[in-house]
Amino acid sequence: MGVSREKVFNDFSAWYNDVIEQAGIIDKRYPVKGMLVWRPYGLRIVRAIEKIIREEVEKTGHQEVLFPVLIPEDEFNKEAEHIEGFGNQVYWVTHTGETPLEKRLLLRPTSETAIYPVYALWIRSHKDLPLKLYQIVPVFRYETKHTRPIIRQRELSHFFEAHTAHASPEQAEAQILEDVEIMGVLCEKLCIPFLCHRRPDWDKFAGAVYSIGVDTILPDGRVLQIGGIHNYLQNFAKPYNITYETEDGGHEYVYQTTYGMSERLLASLIALHGDDHGLVLPPQIAPVQVVVIPILYKDQNQEKILEQVETCKKKLLSGGLRVEVDTREDRPGSKFYDSELRGIPIRLEIGPRDVKLGQVVVVRRDTLERVATPVNNLLDGVRKTMDDMTRDMREKAWRTVRDRVRKVGGLDEAVRELETGGGIVQVEWCGSETCGHRLEDETGASVLGLPYPEQPTPLNSCVVCRSKSKHVVSLAKTY
């Protein structure tokens, strides 16, 4: 049971663009292409997500730092692959006032080249390791692909990036696993299903030894990457000269990893849970968890109703819930419409009949089910409804995503499946880059990489070259 998602599935792009503006998440009319304004309601959701991210990464020993937005050209130019990957996307600052700068500065597209010169100063001894720091900052990438609000911006306003340094490759590897676990905890709270893939070499992060992409599937069947976890080993430590003194007095380069996430977490939870009435927000991150709407009639005893509204509000506040009473001069119907558009998890309706019966009508946003609840059991009732809703949202989203991942036996079938059902189609692959590119060319999709961690599966032959296959590989049309 649930509210119709016809519009979401039939024309995802139009639905998405509408709902993020109408629900007050962002305004895309800012006069620079690919940059947008975060409105109060949207920003409150972002802050709630950030709070969860901070809690989770701090539990695992990460500390927050803040590096400047501007990076000097010579620091940026130290790691060759990184320059190649980001060079064309860089915004260059060349002047202050009308005076040319002696040394050009760039706006960070990501912060490796800002942070690592300072890591070279901070890390001296094995006692300084592991070093686990993160920041949440705006980054700037001149995207040439089609921009799309929150999903692909030229200014990403809230880019999370963790940068760790370790004494051994094993510890760096363990960090990658910890990052995947953190993603699991986050996505459980945010009700976002995800799959990890070890990206093919031709699609790894610029400068990484390997990259794990964290992917989800949007309602239009295209895959959105919502996180990136990268093992650099010593690729940056060498050009940036980040060394440490080992216990026996030698000197070694550190081993590094990074972990990146962005507002795409918000975009995907909007896309995965929204319906034809608007947003559906998981209670944990909803800026307003409960909206109370008095149903007033002119001839009835309005005072009693408003009293009951006040009682309910106090009860819920005392339980630490985020509550709003909608006292605007407007029809109840229009208030219902609003609360649904904004995705408020719980709506309480209180009318003359409810006052008589000492009850409240509790409406949960995901199903719009209405349950009359005695006022003296309100707090427990609302809490339980929020828990049920969270669990159901999580399970339903996981089912939807899981149903869109399937393995097929041949290339033609893969093309057909991608065309009709979208999502992720898996085939067997010999592992060669030539066959990988052929896969992409023939299907018009991207190779997401190998499911991570890789599952042991009985294998036959590569769908391209028919030689013995080594892996199951995922294909999808991507954002």
Residues forming the site for its own copies (CB under 8 A): 27, 29-32, 35-40, 43-44, 47, 63-72, 75, 87-97, 105, 107, 114, 117-118, 121-122, 133, 138, 140, 142, 155, 157
Identify which of residues 142 and 337 has a Cβ nearer to its own copies in the complex.
142
Identify which of residues 33 and 353 has a Cβ nearer to its own copies in the complex.
33
Identify which of residues 125 and 434 has a Cβ nearer to its own copies in the complex.
125
Identify which of residues 54 and 222 has a Cβ nearer to its own copies in the complex.
54
Identify which of residues 105 and 226 has a Cβ nearer to its own copies in the complex.
105
Residues in the chain: 479
Residue with tokens 């998440």: 25
Identify which of residues 31 and 456 has a Cβ nearer to its own copies in the complex.
31
Shortest Å distance, C-beta 208 to its own copies: 21
Shortest Å distance, C-beta 371 to its own copies: 33
State both tokens at 109: 């597209």
Shortest Å distance, C-beta 236 to its own copies: 16
Handedness of CA 28, 34, 39, 43 (dihedral sign): positive
Shortest Å distance, C-beta 437 to its own copies: 25
Alpha helices in 138-289 (DSSP H): 169-190, 237-240, 264-273
Shortest Å distance, C-beta 263 to its own copies: 11
Shortest Å distance, C-beta 394 to its own copies: 28
Question: How many Å apart are CA 460 and CA 470, to the nearest integer?
Answer: 8
Shortest Å distance, C-beta 121 to its own copies: 6
Identify which of residues 127 and 353 has a Cβ nearer to its own copies in the complex.
127
Running DSSP on this structure, what letter comes out for residue 441? H
Task: Tell me if 361 sits within 8 A of 338, measured CB to CB.
Answer: no
Shortest Å distance, C-beta 436 to its own copies: 27
Peptide bond into 352 cis (omega under 30): no
| Range 267-271 contact pairs with CB under 8 angstroms and sequence separation of 24 or more | 267/150, 267/151, 267/224, 268/192, 268/216, 268/218, 268/224, 268/226, 269/190, 269/191, 269/192, 270/16, 270/19, 270/20, 270/25, 270/150, 271/8, 271/12, 271/16, 271/218, 271/219, 271/224
Which of 437, 423, 416 is closest to 474 using CA atoms? 423
Cβ-based neighbour number of residue 314 at 10 Å: 11
Question: How many Å apart are CA 474 and CA 451, to the nearest integer?
Answer: 7
Residue with tokens 């995922």: 474
Alpha helices in 342-460 (DSSP H): 352-357, 378-403, 411-420, 433-443
Identify which of residues 65 and 296 has a Cβ nearer to its own copies in the complex.
65
Shortest Å distance, C-beta 155 to its own copies: 5
Identify which of residues 210 and 240 has a Cβ nearer to its own copies in the complex.
240
Running DSSP on this structure, what letter comes out for residue 90? P
State both tokens at 217: 């599937």
Handedness of CA 29, 30, 35, 41 (dihedral sign): negative
Identify which of residues 90 and 382 has a Cβ nearer to its own copies in the complex.
90
Identify which of residues 17 and 432 has a Cβ nearer to its own copies in the complex.
17
Peptide bond into 130 cis (omega under 30): yes
Q: Which residues pair with 290 in a beta bridge?
A: 323, 346
State both tokens at 122: 């901070």
Question: In sequence order, what DSSP letters do the residues of 5-61 get, joined into one string?
Answer: -HHHHHSHHHHHHHHHHHTTSEE---SSTT--EE-HHHHHHHHHHHHHHHHHHHHTT
Shortest Å distance, C-beta 114 to its own copies: 8
Task: Tell me if 211 sits within 8 A of 229, measured CB to CB.
Answer: yes
Shortest Å distance, C-beta 398 to its own copies: 31
